[in-house]
Amino acid sequence: MTVKKTFLQGLLANNPVLVQLLGMCSTMAISTSLFNGVGMGVSVLIILTCSNVVIALLRKIIPSKVRIACFIVVITGFVTMVDLILKAFVPALSSSLGVFIPLIAVNCIILGRAEAFAAKNTVLLSAVDGVGQGLGYTLVLTLISVVREFLGNGTFGGGILNGGEGFRLLPSEYPALLVVLPFGGFLALGSLIALVQYIQKRKTRNNGGEAIAK
pLDDT tens digits for range 39-89? 999 999 999 999 999 999 999 999 999 999 999 999 999 999 999 999 999
Residue ranges of the domains in the chain?
3-213
Collapse the DSSP code of 167 into the 3-class scheme (helix H, G, I; strand E, B; otherwise coil) and give the result: strand
Burial class (CB in 10 A: 0-12, 13-18, 19+), 112: middle
For residue 212, name the pLDDT band (cuts at 50, 70, 90).
Answer: very low
Residue in 128, 130, 109 with CA at minimum distance from that of residue 45? 130
Per-residue pLDDT at 211 exceeds 90: no
Per-residue pLDDT at 143 exceeds 80: yes
Q: In the beta sheet, which residues pair with residue 110?
A: none
pLDDT at 68: 93
pLDDT at 53: 97
Residue in 179, 45, 35, 180 with CA at minimum distance from that of residue 96? 35
- Tens-digit pLDDT profile for residues 95-131: 989 889 998 988 889 999 999 999 999 999 999 999 9
Residue 13 Cα to chain centre, angstroms: 14
Within 59-154, residue ranges assigned H as helices are 67-89, 91-97, 108-113, 123-153
Q: How far apart are CA 127 and CA 7, in angstroms?
A: 9
| pTM reported for the whole predicted model | 0.88
Q: How far apart are CA 191 and CA 107, in angstroms?
A: 23
- Tens-digit pLDDT profile for residues 200-210: 888 878 776 55
pLDDT at 135: 95
